[in-house]
A and B are shown apart, each in its own frame.
Chain A
Amino acid sequence: MIGVGASSFERNPERSVLQMAGDALVRALADAELEKDAIDGLIVQIGSPRGADYDTIAQTFGLNPRFCSQTWAHGRFTATVIAQAAMAVTCGLASRIACILAMKNSDIGRIGEADNPFFHEQFRENGGPHAEEGAIGMTSPVAGAALAFDLYCRRYEKDRELLAEIPLTFRRHARLNPDAVARHPLSLEDYRAARSVVEPLRLLDCSLIGDGAVCVIVAACGTSPAGRPSIALTGMQGVQAGRETFIFAPRGLGIAQQSSRRLTLAEARAQPVYAMAGARPESIDVLGVYDSFSPLPLYAFEDFGFCEAGEGLDWIQNGRIGLGGELPTNTNGGQLSHAQINGWGQLRELVLQLRGEAGDRQVAGARTAMWVSCCGDALIFERG
């Protein structure tokens, strides 16, 4: 990952998503010390109607990619976009690929509302992309997240209030990040007093709307600007699907058509990303995790072997996932406090952490970073 750039992150319905994408691209090019003409590949996550599609981006900015790709208009494909770029470089389809997420949500309301362009997806055949079923009133992604978390707390007999550690920790991180949309202090009292959205989840369990763009330039190892540590992608695995998966749950929780068989710790530690990278959960110095709802990191910690299935709520306590803790996680503030851009804020943060450029949030001596989500996708990076 030879260059990274971002727009500002804010809620500004008047700003064009192309302005954000352009800012991110220009800054990533400057960071990689490249001219625009050097870009011969383009991969976009989140196109229209929340972002700009690959054709618009190339035409508008005067790029001439010979390899283009784009994933659908939702999240989940963060790791997959980077994996595609790595494969395209390795196969010789392109040599320097701009991977771009640019997204504006502030002008379209919340998913689930009638004036949101995704309203009709909840009537998608065999269920919406977040298990929505509009005909029974099950609208908006938050309901599936609430069901899974309720089921999780019942299965493991855990107090849901333990969850506060996740939004509170990520907010403390965001307070150190000048880029974050939400930087005001958040107390346990604030968290407990937040209004319920779909019980048992509250407003502060949901990521906040924030518009912005990130661009990451992927190229062959050894092509970073002189004098800068290279950030090598050493392990990757893609999004998983099927009857054993549920968008907002760990494998085998027993929601939808899943079995009730969770991964054992040994199985979770044997996820292919670790073998590919020659790493173990203990090797990870800094973690980025998908957190559009605050329970989701728990499932990723468990399914990737940082702790046993059902232990997540206890495991995260006492500063373990905060700066200075055993596994500093979402040091940029995550989707919960930095901006809801599907994990690209975390991806950029991991690059900055490995380069030693994370300012007040720097994890001392960070050499190995990991991106992980409860959808099963993961990336591991090493500082060269």
Chain B
Amino acid sequence: MTETVFPVVNDLSRPFWSAGERNELLLPVCISSGRAFWPPSPISPFVNAGSVEWRRIAPEGVVKSVVIYRRIFQASFERLAPYGVGLIELDAGPRLMAHVPKPQDPDAPRAGCRAMLRFTRLLLNGPAVPTLVRHE
């Protein structure tokens, strides 16, 4: 089976990935409640029949957890190992998963610290994906 590591990009998710290419964070927002949410949905997950628009969101928040990959499942990520995957709670509310490069570096983001999302191209010809960097 061919290995691909590209996300599904379609009409629903394209605003996120296109903004990511400019290192900007766009998230869907429920217009009625003003709350940003994740993952993307054509209808608000919060209110009945709520409509949704994409808005620019500050890519900052608190890291809740980082786990470290010791076993590599995808060959294309092998040269990045050991790498981390972290959960960030954005100040705007939603939590996102992000790649954590070199999680053992002293200045790597870890649970409890503030961080920001930076869209980074991890793989040749790959998309810019969310990564976490410490942001005190």
Contact = CB atoms under 8 A, between A and B. Distances in A.
B75 A199 contact: no
B69 A126 contact: no
Given A137-B99, A243-B45, A110 B67 contact: no
A266 interface: no
Nearest to A119: B1
Interface string B111-136: 11000000000100011011100000
A131 interface: yes
Given A123-B4, A136-B99, A154-B65, A195 B129 contact: no
Contacts of A110: 73
A150 B87 CA distance: 11
Contact of A112 (B1, B12, B37, B73): B73
A199 B85 contact: no
A114 B3 contact: yes
B80 A137 contact: yes
B46 to A, nearest CB: 9
Nearest to A123: B8
Contacts of A198: 67-71, 85
Contact of B65 (A113, A117, A137, A150): A150
Question: Which of B7, B65, B111, B122 is the most central at the interface, judged by chain A CB atoms within 10 Å of its CB?
Answer: B65
Interface string B73-112: 1110100100101010000001101110000000000011
Nearest to B85: A138
A257 interface: yes
A147 B87 contact: yes
Interface in A151-197: 151, 154, 195-197
Interface string B1-30: 111111110101100000000000000000
A241 to B, nearest CB: 13
A207 interface: no
Nearest to B126: A135
A199 B7 contact: no
Contacts of A195: 70-71
A114 B95 contact: no
A7 interface: no
Contacts of A139: 73-74, 77
A259 to B, nearest CB: 11
A222 interface: no
A46 interface: no
A126 B67 contact: no
B64 A197 contact: no
Interface in A113-144: 113-117, 119-120, 123-127, 131, 133-140, 143
A254 interface: yes
Nearest to B77: A137
A114 B69 contact: no
Interface string A223-259: 0000000000000000000010000000000111100
A197 B70 contact: yes
A115 B70 contact: no
A133 B67 contact: no
Contacts of A116: 1
A126 B8 CA distance: 9
Contacts of A127: 39
The 9 closest A-B pairs by CB, nearest first: A112-B73, A114-B3, A126-B39, A136-B99, A199-B68, A146-B67, A135-B7, A196-B70, A137-B77
29 contacts: A112-B74, A114-B1, A114-B75, A117-B1, A123-B4, A126-B40, A133-B97, A134-B5, A134-B7, A135-B127, A137-B69, A137-B77, A138-B97, A139-B74, A147-B67, A147-B87, A150-B111, A151-B65, A154-B65, A154-B112, A195-B70, A196-B70, A198-B69, A198-B85, A199-B68, A199-B70, A243-B45, A257-B94, A257-B95
Given A150-B67, A154-B112, A257-B38, 15 more contacts: A134-B74, A135-B5, A135-B6, A135-B127, A136-B98, A138-B85, A146-B67, A147-B67, A196-B68, A196-B71, A198-B71, A200-B67, A243-B45, A255-B65, A256-B95
Interface of B: 1-8, 10, 12-13, 37-40, 45, 64-71, 73-75, 77, 80, 83, 85, 87, 94-95, 97-99, 111-112, 122, 126-127, 129-131
